[in-house]
């Protein structure tokens, strides 16, 4: 069977190969207004909205048998997808996909870490522009997610709610009149919505004021996670902030508060810290930025942690106007392309033996 042919698991036809690392959408997220830069992109790398849904009459994923889970995949695959999927749906049979290709999907934020490592029947639907994906049989039967660069939560919400409504025409979700949508994890019961933003907070780190983020997160009942969300570490001063409360509030209220109050508060903290750094010692800040550029342009071995750390400093320089020779768009692209699976796909290096290849790739990119 060739990669272009459909694969099947328990009668579920899907493609076993993910999108290519060199595809047109491999290094960018979809911006809904291409006439303007993404909103607040200096501090917000990306926005994401995720919905958890389960099918009525089926056990939750952790209690369901493999044949039942295969039936869930089949039913979801037969449903009508609209909105961001109007241009086409690519189904990937994650169970039949090679580990390196699963990692590629994870690095692109199309699937989660638990989804990479699971063994049961599962699949993911990916929109043609990669702005949306639907994981089937992750923690819940459906995990719908949409991503965009910068702060675009309202636009994402409109698209997400339209897709959710369309799916409910062909799928019956588990819903309780008092508690709302029923989910495997009690913290998701209610709306089932998770609203998040990937924030870049280097100045707060440099001023040792990240406690502001932690205090604000605690006061607002938020979760603060790492570079790839839940279960991952913070790299390069990137932090994912998301809501924890889904019960007792409407989806619209949650999105409106997150977009209009919560994320702007973190942006204000970071911009104030950047101003303070420049006022305190602009030359010292420039030195950090250009040292990072010098290392990236000359190094011969480069770990992932080092790459993200130094690219973070370049991003601070580009966002503040202190570094004009490397555009923000290139830096954001490199943040994806230096990750192990993408680097392996692009350069042919082996996973786990990629320091030299990463260094050479970054040197060439920053010439």
Q: What is the pLDDT of residues 26-66, one digit of tens each?
A: 444 554 455 567 999 999 999 999 999 999 999 999 999 99
Q: What is the pLDDT of residue 85?
A: 93
* Per-residue pLDDT at 72 exceeds 50: yes
Residue at 265 is within a domain = yes
Q: What is the pLDDT of residues 236-267, one digit of tens each?
A: 799 999 988 777 788 999 999 999 999 999 99
Q: Are residues 339 and 209 in the same domain?
A: no
Which of 212, 173, 216 has the alpha carbon at shortest distance from 192?
A: 173
286-293 mean pLDDT:
98
Q: What is the pLDDT of residue 291?
A: 98
Percentage of the chain exceeding pLDDT 90: 77
* Per-residue pLDDT at 363 exceeds 60: yes
* Per-residue pLDDT at 24 exceeds 70: no
- Tell me what the pLDDT averaged over the chain comes to: 89
SS3 175: strand
* Per-residue pLDDT at 232 exceeds 70: no
Residue at 1 is within a domain = no
Domain span holding position 194: 7-269
* Per-residue pLDDT at 140 exceeds 80: yes
Q: What is the pLDDT of residues 201-221, one digit of tens each?
A: 999 999 999 887 888 888 888
Q: What is the pLDDT of residues 152-191, one digit of tens each?
A: 999 999 999 999 999 999 999 999 999 999 999 998 999 9
Q: What is the CATH classification number for the domain harbouring 153? A: 3.30.590.10
More confident residue, 20 or 85: 85
Q: Are residues 88 and 190 in the same domain?
A: yes
Q: What is the pLDDT of residue 10?
A: 41
Give the span between the Cα atoms of 353 and 78, in whole angstroms. 41
219-237 mean pLDDT:
72
What's the distance, CA 2 to chain centroid? 30
Q: What is the pLDDT of residue 28?
A: 43
Q: Are residues 284 and 251 in the same domain?
A: no
Q: Are residues 251 and 285 in the same domain?
A: no
The values of phi and psi at residue 248, to 5°, are 90, 0
Residue at 128 is within a domain = yes
**Total tally of structural domains belonging to the chain:** 2
Q: Are residues 77 and 197 in the same domain?
A: yes
* Per-residue pLDDT at 6 exceeds 60: no
Q: Pick from 246, 269, 292: which residue ends a domain?
A: 269
| Angle, helix 328-337 to helix 355-365, in steps of 10 degrees | 160
67-93 mean pLDDT:
94
Residue at 75 is within a domain = yes
Q: What is the pLDDT of residues 318-343, one digit of tens each?
A: 999 999 999 999 999 999 999 999 99
Q: Are residues 258 and 329 in the same domain?
A: no
* Per-residue pLDDT at 228 exceeds 60: no
Positive/negative CA dihedral, 136, 140, 145, 150: negative
Q: Are residues 163 and 298 in the same domain?
A: no
Structure tokens at 293: 């550029």
Q: Are residues 259 and 227 in the same domain?
A: yes
Residue at 241 is within a domain = yes
SS3 307: helix
Q: Pick from 228, 248, 269: which residue ends a domain?
A: 269
Q: Pick from 269, 299, 330: which residue ends a domain?
A: 269
Q: Are residues 72 and 176 in the same domain?
A: yes
What Rg do the C-alpha atoms of the chain give, in angstroms? Answer: 21
What angle (nearest 5°) sits at the alpha carbon of residue 147, between those of residues 200 and 173?
130
Q: Are residues 204 and 281 in the same domain?
A: no
Q: What is the pLDDT of residue 212?
A: 79
Write down the pTM of the prediction. 0.88
Q: Are residues 282 and 262 in the same domain?
A: no
Residue at 2 is within a domain = no
Calculate the CA dihedral of residues 15, 17, 21, 26 and round it to 10 degrees. Answer: 30
Confidence of residue 226 (pLDDT cuts 50, 70, 90): confident
Q: What is the pLDDT of residue 345?
A: 95
Q: Are residues 156 and 299 in the same domain?
A: no
Q: What is the pLDDT of residue 25?
A: 42
Q: What is the pLDDT of residues 161-170, one digit of tens each?
A: 999 999 999 9
74-91 mean pLDDT:
92
Q: What is the pLDDT of residue 234?
A: 65
Partners of 50 in the β-ladder: 145, 194
Q: What is the pLDDT of residue 1?
A: 27
Burial (CB count within 10 angstroms: exposed 0-12, middle 13-18, buried 19+), residue 129: middle
Give the span between the Cα atoms of 338 and 348, in whole angstroms. 13
């Amino acid at each position: 069977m060739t990669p272009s042919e459909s694969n099947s698991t328990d009668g579920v036809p899907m493609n076993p190969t993910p999108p290519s690392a060199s595809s047109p959408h491999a290094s960018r997220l979809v911006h809904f207004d291409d006439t303007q830069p993404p909103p607040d992109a200096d501090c917000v790398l990306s926005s994401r909205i995720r919905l958890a849904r389960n099918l009525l009459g089926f056990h939750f994923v952790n209690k369901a048998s493999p044949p039942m889970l295969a039936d869930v995949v089949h039913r979801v695959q037969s449903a009508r997808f609209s909105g961001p999927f109007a241009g086409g749906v690519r189904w990937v049979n994650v169970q039949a996909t090679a580990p390196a290709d699963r990692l590629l999907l994870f690095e692109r934020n199309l699937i989660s870490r638990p989804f990479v490592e699971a063994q049961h029947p599962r699949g993911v639907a990916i929109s043609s522009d990669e702005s949306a994906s639907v994981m089937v049989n992750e923690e819940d039967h459906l995990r719908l997610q949409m991503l965009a660069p910068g702060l675009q939560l309202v636009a994402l919400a409109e698209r997400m709610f339209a897709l959710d409504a369309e799916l409910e025409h062909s799928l019956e979700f588990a819903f309780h009149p008092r508690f709302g949508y029923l989910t495997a994890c009690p913290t998701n019961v209610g709306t089932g919505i998770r609203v998040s933003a990937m924030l870049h907070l280097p100045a707060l780190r440099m001023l040792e004021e990240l406690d502001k983020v932690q205090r604000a997160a605690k006061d607002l009942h938020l979760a603060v996670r790492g570079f790839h969300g839940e279960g991952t570490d913070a790299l390069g001063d990137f932090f994912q902030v998301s809501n924890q409360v889904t019960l007792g509030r409407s989806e619209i209220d949650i999105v409106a508060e997150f977009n209009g109050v919560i994320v702007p508060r973190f942006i204000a903290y970071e911009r104030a810290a950047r101003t303070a750094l420049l006022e305190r010692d602009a030359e010292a800040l420039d030195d950090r930025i250009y040292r990072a550029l010098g290392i990236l342009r000359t190094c011969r071995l480069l770990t992932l942690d080092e790459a993200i750390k130094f690219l973070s400093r370049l991003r601070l320089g580009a966002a503040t106007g202190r570094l004009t020779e490397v555009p923000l768009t290139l830096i954001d692209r490199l943040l994806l392309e230096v990750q192990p699976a993408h680097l392996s796909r692009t350069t042919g290096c082996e996973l786990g033996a990629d320091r030299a290849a990463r260094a050479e790739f970054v040197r060439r990119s920053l010439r």
